[in-house]
């Protein structure tokens, strides 16, 4: 879908980006720390993308609204964005900023369509039983996480098309980490993101909190298997990092480091995701951010 450069008022645009930065600061948590290392123009664009995704997620997660109405609202949110991508007048600050970011960084419009499609997958009554195999789960992870990565690398900047497949794999790693961390929360909502073939392989028949030491051991082994799988996908970061524009590498490094550190912290806690929620402390994140800033300011190489 071709887009036209929107005619934007600089004052309104700065306000729109400020709104998006505020949304990202309040809600992005792990993502926001990595955003801070980006040059201002790229940081603004990432925040606009995040704010767009956050609103779509909020629509999907609002259980007070019937599923059909949530689908309609998601479709309307996407349709409104597409209108602004085409250069029409916009009065929503998030979409105002997003239209500028989309044009400025030449982000393919179909990626935003896929983002919303991924969000809508959680409204499909059969979406969780669909994860019979890891291939089924991979498709879900692609839409809800890999597509985000593909949008981000357009903002980060790259010239080698190999970056796209690597970003896809890295998105899978991030989502698998989220799945491991959120098993308890997702289970309480009737959501099971572990493939049925893996549940059967490790003898886990009850997807609620373990009720015995034997259940706990089975869950520990199962989640350890999922963690090993995530580590395989994190390996893509090694090849992806040098393909990004130099001024974006510290941000990507910070994001990978934060998420991979979260995974390893869960592993160090013997995958006990039912009695406590594992998270990185503020100071752990600040340590990563400080190293990223040092690399950005002094143009130092980073490895993951």
Six-digit token pair at 157? 């900047």
**In 252-286, which positions are buried (b, 16+ CB within 10 angstroms) versus exposed (e)?**
bbbbbbbbbbbbeebbeeebebeeeebebeeebbe
Q: Where in the chain is the domain with CATH 1.10.600.10?
A: 1-124, 129-304
Listed range (21-35, 115-129, 139-153, 219-233) with the worst mean pLDDT? 115-129
Residue 73 has pLDDT above 60, yes or no: yes
Let me know: does 198 contact 166? Beta carbons within 8 Å.
Answer: no
Let me know: does 59 contact 52? Beta carbons within 8 Å.
Answer: no
The residue to which tokens 């029409």 are assigned = 88
- Of the chain, the percentage scoring pLDDT greater than 90 comes to 67
Mean pLDDT, residues 68-84 taken together: 93
Phi, psi of 71 (to 5 degrees): -60, -40
* Tens-digit pLDDT profile for residues 292-302: 888 888 767 77
For 1-124, the fitting CATH number among 3.40.50.300, 1.10.600.10, 3.40.50.2000, 1.10.510.10 is 1.10.600.10
Measured CA to CA, the distance from residue 271 to residue 181 in angstroms comes to: 8
* Tens-digit pLDDT profile for residues 43-63: 999 999 999 999 999 998 888
Please report, for residues 71, 78, 239, 290, the alpha-carbon distance to residue 74 in angstroms, rounded to integers and kept in the order given: 5, 6, 35, 38
The residue to which tokens 């109405």 are assigned = 69
* Tens-digit pLDDT profile for residues 145-174: 999 999 999 999 999 999 999 999 999 999
DSSP label at residue 107? -
Six-digit token pair at 12? 């309104």
* Tens-digit pLDDT profile for residues 220-270: 999 999 999 999 999 999 999 999 999 999 999 999 999 999 999 999 999
Mean pLDDT, residues 121-136 taken together: 78
Query: Residue length, the chain?
Result: 304
pLDDT band for position 89 (50/70/90)?
A: confident
Please report, for residues 65, 238, 243, the alpha-carbon distance to residue 103 in angstroms, rounded to integers and kept in the order given: 33, 29, 22
HSE at residue 255, side-chain half, CA atoms within 13 A, is: 30
Instruction: Considering the domain delimited by 129-304, tell me its CATH architecture.
Output: Orthogonal Bundle (1.10)
């Amino acid at each position: 879908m071709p887009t036209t450069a929107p005619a934007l008022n600089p004052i309104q645009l700065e306000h729109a980006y400020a709104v998006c930065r505020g949304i990202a600061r309040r809600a992005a948590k792990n993502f926001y720390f990595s955003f801070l290392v980006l040059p201002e123009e790229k940081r603004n664009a990432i925040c606009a993308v995040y704010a767009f995704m956050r609103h779509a997620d909020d629509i999907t997660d609002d259980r007070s609204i019937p599923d059909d109405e949530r689908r309609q609202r998601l479709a309307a949110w996407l349709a409104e964005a597409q209108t602004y991508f085409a250069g029409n007048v916009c009065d929503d600050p998030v979409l105002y900023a997003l239209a500028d970011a989309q044009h400025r960084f030449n982000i393919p419009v179909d990626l935003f369509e896929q983002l919303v499609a991924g969000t809508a997958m959680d409204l499909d009554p059969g979406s969780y039983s669909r994860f019979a195999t890891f291939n089924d789960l991979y498709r879900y992870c692609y839409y809800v996480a890999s597509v985000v990565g593909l949008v981000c690398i357009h903002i980060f900047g790259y010239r080698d098309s190999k970056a796209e497949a690597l970003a896809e794999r890295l998105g899978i790693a991030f989502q698998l980490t989220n799945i491991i961390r959120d098993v308890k929360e997702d289970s309480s909502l009737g959501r099971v993101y572990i493939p049925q073939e893996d549940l059967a392989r490790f003898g886990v028949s009850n997807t609620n909190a373990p009720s015995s030491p034997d259940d706990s051991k089975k869950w520990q082994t199962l989640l350890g298997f999922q963690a090993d799988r995530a580590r395989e996908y994190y390996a893509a970061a090694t090849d992806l990092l040098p393909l990004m524009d130099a001024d974006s590498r510290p941000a990507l490094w910070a994001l990978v480091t934060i998420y991979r550190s979260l995974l390893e912290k869960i592993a160090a806690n013997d995958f006990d995701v039912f009695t406590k929620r594992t998270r990185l402390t503020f100071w752990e994140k600040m340590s990563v951010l400080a190293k990223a800033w040092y690399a950005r300011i002094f143009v130092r190489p980073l490895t993951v």
